[in-house]
Structure 1
Amino acid sequence: MTAIMLDEHDIRGAVTMPEAIAAVRRGFADLADGAFEMPVRTVLDDGGFLVMPVHHRPTSSAVTKFLSLNFDRAPAIDGTVVWSEAHSTDRVVAHAGTVTALRTGAAVGAATDLLADPGADELVLIGAGGQAPDQVRAVHAVRPLRRLTVVATAPERARALVERLRPELDGVRLETAADARAAVGGAPIVCCATTSTVPLFTADDLPERVHVNAIGAFRPTMRELPDDLLAGADVVIDEREAALEESGEVVHALEAGAITGADLTELGPALAKGGGFGPRTVFKSVGVAIQDWAVAHLLAERVLR
């Protein structure tokens, strides 16, 4: 038996963001085709610990991710992603925080490529935590940016993120802001990556044509987007059962009567549809295990073969 241990440096060196986006896109297509066995993740201590298993039937491979989350520490996300195959005793054990950031960004990249205007070249990112850099990398991979504005309640965190990303964003105008409602007013793409429990802006704050990604809220008590935005947009989710159980935005909008279940489209079928969406689109992700499988599959192909 061989167990290959991969840290952040190993993972970043093995998988680029465009490769992760392509892999996650294929994973969602397989999910829509019924190729995965994927229970809703197990949540312990009100989100303090998460366990996410998934089995890919065509390859007889499985991934189990264990996370501990504490947003008062650094890093906030820690744990392991374990890749295994039925025909082999070899394993890949990867740093879960890195895989999570990469695969979450990749899903946003796939959704943005599908839903954002082809010429969109400005991004407002709300949040400057551990998930934030890969949100920018993913959007930039599918919609090369001319301008990036980072909004954070702590200005020093926004400035630090901008400086961290500067070497990767040559020629991009980089700015920071403190007022999310004012910042989103002219943005064709908005990414929300916070732990907020209340909406970050209103639908009226947004331009008429906009694509919004929201990945921060992963429990029913958390919420980044307002009901009126979901009511007036084409809403794409990662997976229905997970969204109905875990997305505070979806749960709140359904309970308020702002939307119905019929207003939600899963990403896999949306990718197959390929177009025909309205001027306002939302991708709401709570994160599902097939995303981890997609990145782990790439890692396994590169370190075990």
Structure 2
Amino acid sequence: MLDAQAVRAAVPMAAAVDAVREAFLDLAAGRFVVPQRLSFGGGTTLVMSACHTPTSTTVVKTLSLVTGRTPTILGTLVWNTAEGQIVADAIEATTLRTGAVSGVATDLLAPPDAHRLALLGTGAQAADQVRAVAAVRPVDRLAVFGRDPSRASAFADRLGREFPAMSVRVAASAADAVSDAEIVCCATSSETPLFAVDALPERVHVNAIGSYLPSMRELPAELLATAGCVVVDQVEAVLEEAGEVIHAVETGLVDRASLVELGDALRTPPEVTGRTVFKSVGLAVQDWAVARLLGGA
């Protein structure tokens, strides 16, 4: 059993970004079998799995998510190969892979010289969003916003110590945080949009990884409707779970056919103009990518 510390020590963020990128390319090439994620108890228990057909390796992960509990996420990740099995704590694996996919999308869609990052949310997923973006872009300015000002301040202090060359400030509001950002990461469980579309600069890339239920909506529908490109981890998954995408499609603001899956976008990079969005609800191929690194592959 690999504990959280062992998982973190074995998988640097830059390696996780590269591994997740490769996994999405394999997904687009049809090299994975990925059953739809199972959700129980209103999303408080999740079960996800993936099989990489060329190697016959599989990953199965179970998660328990309870807002307000410390830690919020508890779970187990199991990596299976013909040679044996690895069991690992799923908390670090989940935050690593969720951060890593934002790193992949940011590397694809954000300007190469983007250096101003806004982070909305200070929970379990937040720090790895910063680590992943910093792995692919020269981030030197970070604005953090959280609903609890004291928690946001403590979180900003920790990130400032981890990234001493980065100027970190606590924003007064979400709109304040994103006002001059070149990259935005949303990592909250909000049921209402975090900001109005006109709070954003005209050229900005937005990652949204917090919402995973139809009732949750981090992004304004107008952003999805007017963005130059909306990339998702998987169309089927976001239309099942991502509240902001479900709402935008059902109201006719966004055409389902305009949603681009990340693997396809990596194979054929889109022309990037204006605002861009990446929406992820999390796929088991990301867990497979991190588990492969834990297995030494």
**Shared fold per TM-score greater than 0.5:** yes
Shift in Å at residue 167 of structure 1?
Answer: 2.8
Q: Measure, in 1, the Cα distance between the counterparts of 2:266 and 2:126.
A: 24
Shift in Å at residue 178 of structure 1?
Answer: 3.0
The aligned amino acid for 1:110 is: V
Residues 61, 83 of structure 1: 8 Å contact kept: yes
SS in 2 for 1:222: coil
Partner of 1:64: 60
Shift in Å at residue 275 of structure 1?
Answer: 4.1
Shift in Å at residue 199 of structure 1?
Answer: 0.3
Q: Measure, in 1, the Cα distance between the counterparts of 2:181 and 2:160.
A: 20
Shift in Å at residue 214 of structure 1?
Answer: 0.3
SS in 1 for 2:212: coil
Q: Measure, in 1, the Cα distance between the counterparts of 2:144 and 2:86.
A: 35
Q: Measure, in 1, the Cα distance between the counterparts of 2:226 and 2:24.
A: 25
Provide structure 1 residue ranges, at least 5 long, that are not aligned to the other structure.
none
The aligned amino acid for 2:10 is: A
Are 1:78 and 2:74 matched, yes or no?
Answer: yes
CA deviation digits over 1:228-270, x for unaligned, max 9? 0001111000011111101101100001111011110000011
The aligned amino acid for 1:291 is: Q
TM-score by length of 2: 0.98
Residues 160, 167 of structure 2: 8 Å contact kept: no
Q: Measure, in 1, the Cα distance between the counterparts of 2:288 and 2:122.
A: 26
Alignment of 1:138-287 (within 5 A): 138-233=132-227, 234-287=229-282
Residues 117, 142 of structure 2: 8 Å contact kept: yes
The total of aligned residue pairs comes to 296
Q: Measure, in 1, the Cα distance between the counterparts of 2:27 and 2:11.
A: 21
Residues 159, 168 of structure 2: 8 Å contact kept: no
Partner of 1:32: 28
Partner of 1:125: 119
Shift in Å at residue 225 of structure 1?
Answer: 0.3
Shift in Å at residue 276 of structure 1?
Answer: 1.1
Residues 20, 103 of structure 1: 8 Å contact kept: yes
Q: Measure, in 1, the Cα distance between the counterparts of 2:235 and 2:133.
A: 24
Are 1:93 and 2:106 matched, yes or no?
Answer: no
The match for 2:19 among 23, 39, 46 is: 23
Shift in Å at residue 294 of structure 1?
Answer: 0.2
The match for 1:11 among 7, 10, 16 is: 7
Shift in Å at residue 117 of structure 1?
Answer: 0.8
The match for 1:292 among 287, 293, 297 is: 287
Shift in Å at residue 146 of structure 1?
Answer: 1.3
The aligned amino acid for 1:150 is: V
SS in 2 for 1:294: helix
Provide structure 2 residue ranges, at least 5 long, that are not aligned to the other structure.
none
Residues 153, 178 of structure 1: 8 Å contact kept: no
* CA RMSD in angstroms, aligned pairs only: 0.9
Q: Measure, in 1, the Cα distance between the counterparts of 2:2 and 2:278.
A: 30
TM-score by length of 1: 0.95
Q: Measure, in 2, the Cα distance between the counterparts of 1:182 and 1:298.
A: 38
Q: Measure, in 2, the Cα distance between the counterparts of 1:167 and 1:84.
A: 37
List, as ranges, runs of 4+ consecutive aligned residues in structure 1 with deviation greater than 3 Å: none
Q: Measure, in 1, the Cα distance between the counterparts of 2:172 and 2:19.
A: 35
Q: Measure, in 1, the Cα distance between the counterparts of 2:195 and 2:146.
A: 13
The aligned amino acid for 2:131 is: R
Shift in Å at residue 53 of structure 1?
Answer: 1.0
SS in 2 for 1:59: coil
The match for 1:47 among 43, 53, 62 is: 43
CA deviation digits over 1:96-155, x for unaligned, max 9? 111000000000000000000111101010000010000000011111211001101101
CA deviation digits over 1:254-297, x for unaligned, max 9? 01111011110000011111241222100000000000000000
